[in-house]
Structure formats: C-alpha cells, structure tokens
Structure 1
Amino acid sequence: MCGICGFTGSADKQTLNNMTETIRHRGPDENGFYSDNEVSLGMRRLSIIDLESGQQPVHNEQGNVWLVFNGEIYNFVSLREQLISKGHRFYTDHSDTETIVHLYEEYGLNFVEHLNGMFAIAIWDQRTQTLLLVRDRMGVKPLFYCEINGNLIFASEIKSILAYPGYHKEMNPEAIYHYFSFKNIPAPLTAFKGIHSVFPGEIITWQQGRIKKDKYWQIEFAENHKINENEAREKILSILEDAVKIRMISDVPFGAYLSGGVDSSAVVALMNRFMDHPIKTFCLGYEDHMTNKEADLYFARKVSEAYGTEHYEYIMSYKEVPKEINNVIGAFDQPFSGTISTYYLSKLINKHVKVALSGDGADELFGSYLAHRLAQPMHNFAKLYPKYKDGRLTENDTAQLKPFDNDLSYLERLYRASGGDIIHWRYQLLTFSDEEKARLLSPCFNEYCRQTSSLDCLASYFRMGKTQDPLNQILGVDWNSLLPDQVLAFVDFLSMAHSVEVRSPFLDYRLVEYVTTIPGCLKIKEGNVKDILKKTVEPLLPDGVTRRPKEGFVLPVFDWLSGTLQDYLQEVLAADRISRHGLWNQEEVSRLLKRFLAGDKTKVAKIWNLMMFQIWWEQYFG
C-alpha cells in the first residue's frame, strides 16, 4: 500500500518531491523516484509485502518498463510462479509489485485481467513512450489525473496534483452542484476544474500528448432465475472464505474492523479459521451512551468472545468532530457529507496494526440501504396502487410490500411524487433535489448550472444497467456511483490518513460476478435485508447477530448537531461566513437551520451537507 504520483514532460526533482510529500501519510515508511526526459514517477510506501526488497518504482529486466503501484495483488504468488515458468526473471524476493511489470510484458494491456486485488497503477513504457494509468475493477484505490499543456499529471490524491506548479486551483461548479444531491462528487468530476477521477475498471493511455480511455471491466447484473438457493449459499461461502484467506497474506500484523454487524462479524469468523493466534479486532463506540449505538459494542463483544479475539474499542466524544473535521475534509480534498466514522476508529487501529480487513461491499452486493429496501415494495406498490386507493388490499397484497407493510403512507408519498417510476422515486431520496437546489443556490450559481441536472446524472446510472429486476437495478446504480464515489472513498481516504490499509473480501471480483447473477428476491426476502448472506453465515455467528436491526457505521450526527454541537453548527453556518462565497441563498439556509434546530430530523442530511461544504470551501478557497 502506498501513494503514487507523477507527470510527463521534463524532469523536475523539486516538483516530484513536493507532490510525493503531500501524500506521505499514505506511505510513511519510505519514498521512491524515477525520472527520465519524458516522465517522472514518485511514491510513498507503506511496507506490507516484501519489506526488505519490495521498494518502488520497480522495473523489468531491461529497465525500459517502470511502475509505481498503490494497493495489493492477492494472487501474486501464483502469478509469479507462472511468469517465472515463462522465463521472466525477478530481482525482488516476493514483491507483488514486480509481478505487475512482468504481467504487462507478457500480456500487454490484458495484464489487468489476471489480477485479483485492489490497485491504482502507473506504468511507463519507454519502448512505446506510453504512460498507462489503471484502476481496479471496484474502485477501491483512488486515482486522479489532469492534463496541462499536453502533459499528464496523476496522483493517488488530489492534493498531490494541487502541488504541481502548472495547475491553477479553480472550483468546478458542475461538480459542486451534484455534491449537494449525492453527498459526494460523482466521478469522473472532482471539485476542481480540470482534475478528473479515473473510473473503476478503466485504463487511461497517454502517448504523445493524447489520451485514450478504455473500460476493461464493467459490472453487469444478469439474474439466473434457475439458481438453487442452497447451492448459491454454498458458492457464496466458498468464494468468501477464499477471499478472506488471500487477504490475510501480509508480512506485518493485521486485524479487522468489527462493528458487530453481519458483514464484519462474518469476516472475523472466517479469518479465525486461518489464524493460530488471536485476531486483533476494533470497534467504535460513543461516550454519550446512545441507545441506538450501544448495540455495536454489545454485539462486537459477543463476536470477540466467541472467537477469542484481542478486542479494542475506541470510545469517541462529540468534541472530536470540530477538533478533527478539517483533517477529515483534508483527507478527501473535496466536500463530503457521507460517513466519516472510519477516520476516528483508524486512529486506534494504527497503534496496533498496519492492515485491517472489513465488511465493506456487502450492503451494495446483497441489499441493505433504504433505496434497496424500497426497490421491491415500490415495484409492487405501483401495480397495487389502484387496489390501495380503493382500500381493497388483501393480506397477500400487503405482504408484497414488506418491510413497509406498516408504513404504506410512505410508499404512497413516494408514488405520488414519482408516478412509481424507479428513477424518479430514487431521485426523491437525494439530499437536495434539483428543485430544492434552485431555492438553495444563489441566482449566479443557478445561472451557471442551468444546464446541469442531478436527475439526469442519476438517470445515466440507470441506463448503464440492463436488468429489469427492481432490486438489482438499484444495486447496479449504487455499484456505479455510491460505492466507488462515496463508500470506498471514505474507506480509503480516512483509513490512509492514519496509514492503515483496509482490505474488503466482499469486493473480491469473483464474489461480485457471482452475486450479480442472484435474483433480488433472494437478497431481500419478505423485507429481510441481505437474506441469503445472513443464512449463509448464520452458523458462524453468535446468536442474535443476523437478527439485529441494521445500524450503519455512521456518527450520531443528528443528536450531536442538534444538541452538544449546536453552537458549533450555528457558528459554521453563520451569515457572515457563508456570505464569503456567495453561493447560497442565505434566507433558505437560515430557514433550513431553524427547522433543524426546532427538531426536524428530516433536515439533518441537508444541514450536515451544507456544514461540510462550508468547511471545505474555507479550507481550500477561503
């Protein structure tokens, strides 16, 4: 694991060093550089595999192919053996990085199809004067780039590109417009004009000042309706077990996030099969003794006791939010109002291990979030609406609307707002709709973004999929947007801020490709989220873990912002501070804030969204 950066054009040692230093947190152990007359490559290394001889950049036998790499290749041992048998000579002891160089020599651009891992790769091929940027299938590892005067500048984090002297910082209004809806900037946009995100599963080729983009992998949900549930459970467990096993390859101590939920608990249970000493596990709690959050500590302790883990808890105080919030925003370099809990727990993890396995990706694979829970009920409600309107719903009809069978008024509100159309009811769940942004944003900002629509952006994600299964449609949208742009973003940036590498077995491409063939009715069954996964791992877990209500890995934002952090919130969103950028209608912000502080919980996402933007703007442009 590390941070990488570089640029084409004349060598400039000072610039390369400055860019590399900005991402020191990603790799505090050592640095590495390569420069010639055409390209400069830099990296910061977090040493995990081949500690003694695994330094980067690496090269091939002739020294005409050079590479820097962020991530882990989990199947590098078998790949290395295959490449040696084909005549390739390795100079490192057991580096996964060097494996990539020889794979590229052997297979060209198709090398990436052989990799099982998480990665952001830059390859300089002197023979063809070509620079390649490659991002892993799921988008676990971030990678950004910018074109300036025919040259390509790239880095693991935006802050590194901001350190390039030829880039002049300017806010991207289109990206910011979408932030207020999605809580994050949707790729390939970033908050800065001219800086772009490489898509998951994408290869960027730069040659003679020209860029070519190719997708080598794209998720596809295509249901096999003949699938046998019992066989599916066996297959899931088999792949997941191996995915856990190969993610335990490490030359340094490792542990696991453990929230006490199904996903992280299953990972710990499977890790235990391959350990001869106690696993180090880590859980986040809160000193405020919030009832809805105490379950995490309770169930994490149960799992820890069941598997004899060496368990640690980080008990967080509300005071840490204002104290650390600038560091959190600085980790992203962009406005972000999703989950930031990882930042605080990773502080504890860093004291004990360099690597931690997690349960990330399971929600997006098997269905758990509000939009996932709504997919099948809204599909059925649209067909049943005439009967509902006339009061003729039968017991069997109502059963089709679980888990909203006791909240039909909510389904009705969504139906009336959307006509039952899947794109339009999903649009209702965004933080700010386009219509709400018309009231929120200043006339100048609205005029600038008059051709920009977050509804159209959302619709573009739906057009990427072919399935007609309502749940898998929603999962497909999240897989192309929410997962890489928000979930995996906070997992990477907030853990790497503390030099901790996170590995997620549920993101193994073999598991992903298999689960996309499972019909939605097996993923959420009779309102029970992740039903097939829970049944798969239930024998491994202490009683009650699979039946506990879903409680996301999120901070108790409403409780804090409406209570102990109320003064801080009002200070951040004070009229004199927000007037400095002039992007908002102050009266609308005041109205939202007043309603929130009066106890309107429905406004918490909006208020958090506005607060995080304000802090970002002040940090980067104020």
Structure 2
Amino acid sequence: MPILAGWLTGEQVPNEIIEQTIQAMGTVLARHGGEATRLIQPGMGLITFSDSAYALSEAHEPPALDWVPERRTLVYRRPLSGSHALYFIEDWPATGNLLFASEIQALLNIGVPRRLHVKALEALQRYGFIPAPWTAFQDIQIVPAGSILRWQRAKTVLNQALDYPSEELHQPQDQLQLALQKAWRSYLSPSTRSAALVSGGEASSLAALWALQQGQDALTIATLGEPSSSDRQWLRAEQVAQRGAEEFLAITPDHDLSFWLATIAALESPALSTHSLALHQLLHTVAVEAGARIAISGLGARTLFGQPFQHLSGPMDREPVHLWQNYQHFVNDQSSMPQIWSPEALAHLRTAQPWEETLHARKLERRAVQFTDRQQGFTYLDLHLRLPDGLVHPAQKLATEEQMVLRSPFLTQQVLPLLACLPDTSGDGAHKSDLLKGFLRSFAFEQDTLVEDFTLAVPSIVSNLATPDLLHEMLSETSLQKTGLFDTKSVQQLLQGSIGMEFSSPLYFIFTTQLLAHLFGAQGL
C-alpha cells in the first residue's frame, strides 16, 4: 500500500525549497501512520511511508515506483485492479514540473489550485463514478488503472501499460483454485490483526473462509446490520464466524454527522448514495473495536463473476456517442437525473471537453469496439472503469483513512487476469458465478445467492443527514451561490419532495458536492 508524495523539476530549485514542499505534503500523509523515508536530490524530492503491518510474505507485483537518478527518470505503475492510486499535477508551478501524491489533500496543502472540475462532476452524475484520469479537482489527475506515469528530464507521459488477456480459460476451476491458494499463502499477514467483512454473499463468505483455513490468527468477522433471526445477511455472516473466528461484530449503521464529514474528506469526491458512508462506518468500527489493520473482503467479485450486461445482445456499438450512452445507462441507473445545474454551470458544461474525448477514453473505446459481441465489449469497459474507479479505489481510500489496508483474493495479480478471461458459461451450461458455489462446497458451506452485489453489500441507510443544521448550511441559498454550481430553485424543490422520505440520488450528489467544496475550500464557478 504505497503512501508517498514527490516533486520533480527541471529547474534549478534550492534543496531547501524542495525539502519544505515535501515536508508539507508529508504532514498530510503522516496521519495514516508508517515510518517516513525522505529522499532529497537536486531537482527531486520524495517521501514514502512504510508499515510492516501490511507486509506480504512474498512479493508478487513489481515495485509501484522506480527512480533512476542517473537518467533523471521516474516511473509509477498502477495495477489493473485500481489499487495504489496516485494523483498528480503536471507543469505546475512551472512547465516541466511534476508533483504527485497518494492523496489530493497533500497536493492542495502546497498551494495547488482548489478548483472543482465541473465536467468531472457531471461525469460522476452520469456514470456513478469519476472515470480516470479525471478527479473532482481541476488540473489534478489520477493515474488510470493499468497505466504508467513516466517523468523523464522535465517531460511527463501517461501510457497504458497493462491489459487483460483476450483468450478464454479452459478448465477454469482448476486454474483458479491453484492461483487463489498460491495467492492466499502469501497474501495474509498472520501477525497482524485482521477482520473479514462479510456481506452474506458468496464472494465475501468465501474470502473469510479462506482466511480462516490459512490459519489467520485472531480473525474478526464483521457485517453491517442488527442481530436478527430474520436477517439472512446477518445469519450467513454468523455461520461464517462459527467456523473459527475469534470475534463476530454485527454493526448497526449510525447517522452521526461526523461520518458524513469523514467519508467525504476521505473520498475526496462527492457521492451519489450512502454506500460509501456505510462502508466507512463498517471499516471505522472494526478498526476501533477489533484493532484490525487488514480488512478482507470479496471486493470486485460482482464485476468479475457477475453478468451485468447479460441482457445485451447483438453487435458492439461502433459509434462513440452510442457506445458511451449505452454503457453509462447500464452502469448507473441514476444517470437520468433532473436538471439541477445553475445557468452558469450549464453554459460551462456545454462548452467544456467531455470525458469521452480524453485520450484515455479514446484508447478504451478503440479496444472495446474490436469486440464483435456487445456484452464482451461492455465487460471490457467495466473492467477498466467501474471496477477500478467506482469500486476498488473508493473502498481503499476509506480503508486508508482508518489506517487499514483492504484486500480481496479476487484482485491479486495472479487471480485477476484469470477471472477476466472466464467464459460466461462453460461447456455444460454452468454460469461462471457457479464457480463460487463450487469453492464454497469445498468448505462444506452451502449457500444460495443472498445478495446481487457480490462486492461488499451494505444496506442503504435511510438518512436524514443526522443534523438539519448541516443540511441547511450546505444547501442554503448563500452556500449554493458561493459554489455557483446548482440551481437554487431546483434544489429547494428536491428538498420539499424528500420530506419524510429517503433522500434521492440527486440530493446526495448536491449535498456531498457542497460538502466537498466546504471541507477543501474549493471554488466552483
């Protein structure tokens, strides 16, 4: 779990200035713990934080970062899974400079402009996540999953370096079983307190049972919900815990105001629902109550084993407009939101470059249209977009905020490419998700599919945002006019329509965007 920050420049900058800059970024990152190591050289500064609690017994991935001083070259690699995110801003404060960090706040702490990226916010509204390389902040980018960020002699280049194999697996169960067993032997940290987050679904149950089988000491099983004989999610989690867990925690969702503040601060992005809020509460509680530093989950399994595009048929869309419109429709059923933008924001959105015209989007588009089958093409996009940007990255940011690392057996470098190559159905007509049932049977653990979401399924929290004062402050006419993003009358109509009911996705989006601007002192328009 690399936590780092750095500055590279082709200018003649005194080492003292570089050291001060690195120290300012390091102050933000130090709250996550770990031992700091600094490297200051002419035109270059780097700070990294390491924690032995997260160490693996065997290294299966190449180092995330390489610095070759004699060539004045830095290379950062981000895995296909979307872990090890790195934010950066190029050509700031002058041409040829590169500043990078594991968190946006570290960059903002040294004076990087605090401007919200309005077009990225609209992309979040449409897709359900902000697709890389965009972030919620103008000028700050994120290295896309499977890409390499290279800086060499004042030149910054971002290239895709990894992709999924195109051939389908034969005898997938045998290959997967071996890969998963090999990964788990080195994936766990027996001396570090761990918790398995069990949703009651097959993937999270399987991850927990594997951890117990591998002799993970002092393992806590945790789920979100109240103990109840009628709650099937709770009952399944309890059954897993009875296989040898030291502790079982059933965590009741809390509407405390501090969680909204902490969640948005950790995400460094708005949200469309309470999913991240609930996950953050789960992670926070197991960190505090169980002292866990590692969280084990079935993260990613819904995308990898599920069939989100099973109703699609026919040839792949060839026109870019139709391709992206259809993809966003299937990944985000809330993409058709009411008109909430201010006239100024609408004018800006009409003229600003859409994400679909970025270089990264065009590269993905060219590869996706090569698939003759529409379902395969959209699955390819999902592996490169929703899996890393919408699932893995936000979950890992929340875990990092609690000084934890989030691990899933399905996202390791050995297993992920195999899962991406699974045929939807085998020769006998079995669906690929049946592999999970087969693995569970090897533990003499029978279970039906309990939840559709094979990732970390957490119940939606019916929230009144806990404190009316916060709601009124963030959605007041004064606050809305300050950011200039949303139409005041539209917001008030949404508020009136939600009285006594669960908040709608547009209201969550507006509220969390306003809260993000407030927490980070960011400008809208």
Q: Give TM-score, length-normalised by structure 2.
A: 0.84
Q: Is the 8 A contact 1:431 1:606 kept in 2?
A: no
Q: Secondary structure at the match of 2:145?
A: coil
The one-letter code matched in structure 2 to 1:334 is: S
- Shift of the 198–221 alpha-carbon distance from structure 1 to 2, 3 Å rule, reads same
2:246 to 310, 334, 337: 310
Residues 1:520 and 1:454: Cα distance change in structure 2 (over 3 Å): farther
Question: Structure 2 CA distance, aligned partners of 1:496 and 1:355?
Answer: 10
Provide the C-alpha distance between the structure 1 equivalents of 2:445 and 2:229, rounded to a whole number of angstroms.
23
Give the match's secondary structure for 2:71: coil
Cα shift at 1:214? 2.9
Report matched runs for 1:112-131 at 5 Å.
115-116=60-61, 121-131=64-74
Of 17, 31, 35, which aligns to 1:25? 31
Query: What is the deviation of 1:331?
Result: 0.9
Secondary structure, aligned partner of 1:440: coil
How many residues align? The count is: 498
Q: Report deviation, 1:605.
A: 2.4
In structure 2, distance between residues paired with 1:31 and 1:3: 10
Deviations 1:188-236 (A, max 9, x none): 0112222110111222221221112332211255446xx4xxx322222
Contact 2:220–2:249 (8 Å) recurs in 1: no
Query: Match of 1:279?
Result: 219
Provide the C-alpha distance between the structure 2 equivalents of 1:297 and 1:471, rounded to a whole number of angstroms: 34
Q: For residues 503 and 569 of structure 1, do their structure 2 counterparts lie closer, same or farther at Cα, with a shift above 3 Å needed? A: same
Mapping for residues 171-190 of structure 1, pairs under 5 Å: 171-190=116-135
1:88-134 CA-partner distances (Å, limit 9, x unpaired): xxxxxxxxxxxxxxxxxxxxxxxxxxx437x6x33221111112222
Equivalent residue for 2:414?
Answer: 510
1:329 aligned residue: 264
Report what 1:428 is aligned to: 329
Counterparts of 2:476 and 2:47 in 1: how far apart (Å)? 42
Q: 2:43 aligns with which of 38, 44, 59?
A: 38
Distance in 2, Cα, partners of 1:190 & 1:459: 14
Match of 2:393 among 477, 489, 495: 489
Which of 143, 155, 178 is equivalent to 1:198? 143
Closer, same or farther: CA 555–592 of 1 in aligned 2, 3 Å: farther
Alpha-carbon separation, structure 2, partners of 1:529 and 1:558: 31
- Alignment correspondent of 1:133: 76
- Give runs of aligned pairs for residues 375-394 of structure 1, distance below 5 A: 375-379=309-313
C-alpha distance in structure 2 between counterparts of 1:168 and 1:378, whole Å: 43
SS at match of 2:83: coil
- The Cα of 1:2 is off from its aligned counterpart by 4.7
For the Cα contact (< 8 Å) 1:472–1:520, is it kept in 2? no
Which whole-Å CA distance do the structure 2 matches of 1:238 and 1:146 have between them? 41
2:402 to 498, 523, 532: 498
What is the aligned partner in structure 1 of residue 238 from structure 2?
A: 301
Map 1:46-125 onto structure 2 (within 5 A).
46-48=51-53, 75-76=58-59, 115-116=60-61, 121-125=64-68
Q: Which moved more, 1:167-176 or 1:465-474?
A: 465-474
Deviation of 1:616 after TM superposition, in Å, equals 0.9
Aligned residue for 2:46, secondary structure, equals strand
Counterparts of 1:465-484 in structure 2, within 5 Å, are 465=368, 466-484=370-388
Which residue identity lines up with residue 161 of structure 1 in the other structure?
A: L
Q: Separation in 1 of the partners of 2:311 and 2:418?
A: 25
- 2:319 paired residue number: none
Distance 1:479 1:199 in 2: 12
For the pair 1:242 / 2:143, whether they are aligned, the reply is no
| Alpha-carbon distance in 1 for matches of 2:469, 2:356 | 34
Does residue 216 of structure 1 match 2:161?
yes
Larger radius of gyration: 1
Larger relative contact order, structure 1 or 2 (CA cutoff 8 Å, min sep 6) = 2
Gaps in structure 1 of 5+ consecutive residues: 50-71, 77-114, 383-420
- Contact 1:48–1:250 (CA<8 Å) still a contact in 2? no
Query: Shift of the alpha carbon at 1:304?
Result: 1.0
Offset of 1:463 from its aligned partner?
A: 4.3
When residues 248 and 459 of structure 1 are mapped into structure 2, their CA distance, relative to the original with a 3 A threshold, is closer
1:538 maps to: 441
Q: Secondary structure at the match of 2:379?
A: helix
Distance 1:259-1:222 versus aligned 2 partners, 3 A rule: same
Counterpart Cα distance in 1 of 2:350 and 2:485: 14
Q: Which amino acid aligns with 1:538?
A: R
Q: Paired residue for 2:462? A: 559
1:156 Cα deviation (Å)?
Answer: 0.7
Matches of 2:154 and 2:70 in 1, distance apart?
A: 16
Measure the CA separation in 2 of the matches of 1:473 and 1:74.
Answer: 37
Pairing partner for 1:619 from 504, 508, 519:
519
Percent same amino acid among aligned pairs?
20
User: Structure 1 residue 240: deviation in Å?
Assistant: 1.8
Q: Could you say which residue in structure 1 is the equivalent of 2:425? A: 521
Q: 1:124 to 1:235 in 2, by over 3 A?
A: closer
User: Structure 1 570/316 Cα, relative in aligned 2: closer, same or farther at 3 Å?
Assistant: farther
In 1, Cα distance between the equivalents of 2:73 and 2:190?
A: 32
Q: C-alpha distance in 1, partners of 2:424/2:303? A: 12
Q: Secondary structure at the match of 2:414?
A: helix
How far off is 1:22 after superposition? 0.3
Match status 1:164 vs 2:110: yes
1:277-333 superposed Cα distances (whole Å, 9 cap, x missing partner): 55332222259x897xx332211101111x11112315234332x222111111122
State the partner residue of 1:112: none
CA contact (8 A) 2:53 2:189 kept: no
CA, structure 1 residues 214+422, in 2 after alignment: closer, same or farther (shift >3 Å)?
Answer: closer
Compute the displacement of 1:529 (Å): 8.2
Rounded Cα–Cα distance in structure 2 between residues aligned with 1:513 and 1:312: 33
Once the two structures are TM-superposed, the CA of residue 365 in structure 1 deviates from its matched residue by 0.7
CA contact (8 A) 2:224 2:459 kept: no
Letter in 2 for 1:156: S
Specify which of 205, 215, 240 is matched with residue 265 of structure 1: 205
Distance of aligned partners of 1:569 and 1:468 in 2 relative to their CA distance in 1, 3 Å threshold: farther
Task: Determine the C-alpha separation between the residues in 2 that align with 1:130 and 1:542.
Answer: 51
Does the C-alpha gap of structure 1 residues 549 and 122 become closer, same or farther in structure 2, counting only changes over 3 Å?
closer
User: Measured at CA, do residues 575 and 432 of structure 1 come closer, stay the same or move farther in structure 2, by a change above 3 Å?
Assistant: farther
Q: Is the 8 A contact 2:125 2:272 kept in 1?
A: no
Cα separation, partners in 2 of 1:531 and 1:576, compared to 1, 3 Å? farther
SS in 2 for 1:509: coil
For the 8 Å contact 1:222–1:516, the answer to whether it is kept is no
Alignment partner of 1:6 is 2:9: no
Match of 2:85 in 1: 142
Q: Counterparts in 2 of 1:365-384, with a 5 A limit?
A: 365-367=304-306, 372=308, 375-379=309-313
2: CA distance, partners of 1:565 / 1:302: 37
CA distance in 2: counterparts of 1:561 and 1:453, whole angstroms: 33
